[in-house]
Amino acid sequence: MDNSLLIFSLIAAILLVVVYNSIKIAQEDERFATFVLGRFAGYKGPGLILTATPMRVHRLKVGDLGVLTSPEFAEFGKVSVPVRNTGQLNVGDSIRIAGFEENWPLLVSSSVRPTQHCPQCGHQF
């Protein structure tokens, strides 16, 4: 009897940790870009979001800086996400998220370039 109780407790603890790590909360001014097995699956939020094991999420907030890498994609940090470009922005422009419309980020031009960090020493460039 003791072994079955120990095994049940161990399984319950593992399930509790998995469920705890799969819960994300997005505030009103942020969305999660979700990727399933490396492919973009959509934007989620605001509110409570449950993520499955093969799902990876990246948090996007109002004010985040990025670069428009193509007419349909922008790079925020190390993540490239699809965006809706109104045609006012050119490839290579520094952009900022001004808000969200239908869970898609609204992009505006930014005079501030996003900073990148050197992987060897950590300085910004």
Report in angstroms the alpha-carbon separations of 50 from 19, 24, 83, 104, 107. 9, 6, 23, 19, 27
Where are the chain's structural domains?
23-109
pLDDT tier for residue 116 given thresholds of 50, 70 and 90: low
pLDDT digit string, tens, across residues 30-51: 999 999 988 999 999 899 998 8
Predicted local distance difference test score (pLDDT) of residue 123: 60
pTM: 0.75
